[in-house]
Amino acid sequence: MIRWKGIAWAAALALLLAGGFISAVAQESEKAPPETIVFESKMGNVTFQHATHTEREGGNCESCHPGLFPQAREPLGYKAGMHKPAEAAKKACAGCHFADGKSFETKGNCKTCHVKD
């Protein structure tokens, strides 16, 4: 009888520890996204209003992630020479910002996003 009690306690402890681990992983993945993200650029930094875009999409993260942007806190690495290919492929910002898209077209509107200090 004592042996089964010991096994039962060990099993209960294992379940509690596993539950704590799962909870910690869930909390990590549920961290709130940043309000803004600044992309550094020689043409002028772009301050992306993440909260505003999220609100416009009704909180639907799948509108942009992972199709247009990776859903990670690492830098995107969006560098010179990538803008026009992204526009042509309707990737990244150009997923919505193109002629007759959801928002204003990137072409001819550089200063709308790129702001020099």
Query: In total, how many domains does the chain have?
Result: 2
One domain, residues 36 and 17 = no
pLDDT tens digits, 33-54: 889 988 888 889 999 999 999 9
Whether the pLDDT of residue 27 is over 70: the answer is: no
One domain, residues 37 and 92 = yes
One domain, residues 40 and 6 = no
One domain, residues 25 and 52 = no
**Whole-angstrom Cα distance, residue 114 to residue 19?**
46
* Residue (of 47, 96, 50) closest to 71 by Cα position: 50
Q: What pTM was computed for the model?
A: 0.65
One domain, residues 52 and 100 = yes
One domain, residues 3 and 49 = no
pLDDT tens digits, 62-84: 999 999 988 877 777 777 778 88
One domain, residues 49 and 86 = yes
One domain, residues 70 and 95 = yes
| Structural domain harbouring 106 | 32-115
**Whole-angstrom Cα distance, residue 45 to residue 62?**
26
One domain, residues 99 and 66 = yes
